[in-house]
């Protein structure tokens, strides 16, 4: 909150954003920014190999973020990076 307030004080004409991959209900930064950037890894680290669930999970995620914070959302990353054994290719 302090960093975001300082950033806004430096230039109140520009929106402030940040990136998170935390569940919307647990996130602590979203209330203070203007735009929320979300990194998602559905069917990568969660439900690996089940590509059919991606649209449902993404839609639910974005609806929950927007319902909770009423702010613009950007999908900033999807499925990048990998840890051996924590994903699979269908």
Give the whole-angstrom CA distance, residue 7 versus residue 52: 40
User: CA 60, CA 39: separation in Å to the nearest integer?
Assistant: 14
Asked if the structure places residue 45 within a domain, the reply is: yes
What is d(CA 40, CA 46) in angstroms, rounded to the nearest whole number?
10
Q: Is 49 contained in some domain?
A: yes
pLDDT of residue 51: 80
What is the total count of domains within the chain? 1
76 sits in the region (left: phi over 0; alpha: psi -120 to 50; else beta) called alpha
Tell me whether residue 54 is in a domain: yes
Is 7 contained in some domain?
Answer: yes
Residue 83 lies in a domain: no
Residue 4: alpha-carbon gap to chain centroid: 17
Q: Model's pTM, two decimal places? A: 0.79
Q: Is residue 28 in some structural domain?
A: yes
pLDDT tens, position by position, 4-40: 999 999 999 999 999 999 999 999 999 999 999 999 8
Structural domain span for residue 32:
3-77
Residue pLDDT, tens place only, 72-89: 999 998 875 555 665 565
47-67 pLDDT, tens digit each: 777 788 888 999 999 999 999
Distance of alpha carbon 84 from alpha carbon 45, whole angstroms? 10
């Amino acid at each position: 909150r302090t960093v975001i307030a300082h950033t806004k004080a430096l230039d109140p004409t520009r929106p402030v954003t940040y990136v998170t991959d935390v569940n919307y209900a647990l996130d602590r930064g979203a209330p203070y920014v203007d735009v929320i950037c979300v990194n998602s890894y559905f069917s990568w680290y969660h439900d690996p190999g089940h590509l059919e669930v991606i649209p449902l999970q993404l839609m639910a995620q974005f609806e929950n973020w927007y319902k909770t914070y009423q702010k613009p959302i950007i999908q900033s990353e999807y499925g990048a990076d990998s840890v051996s054994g924590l994903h699979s290719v269908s």
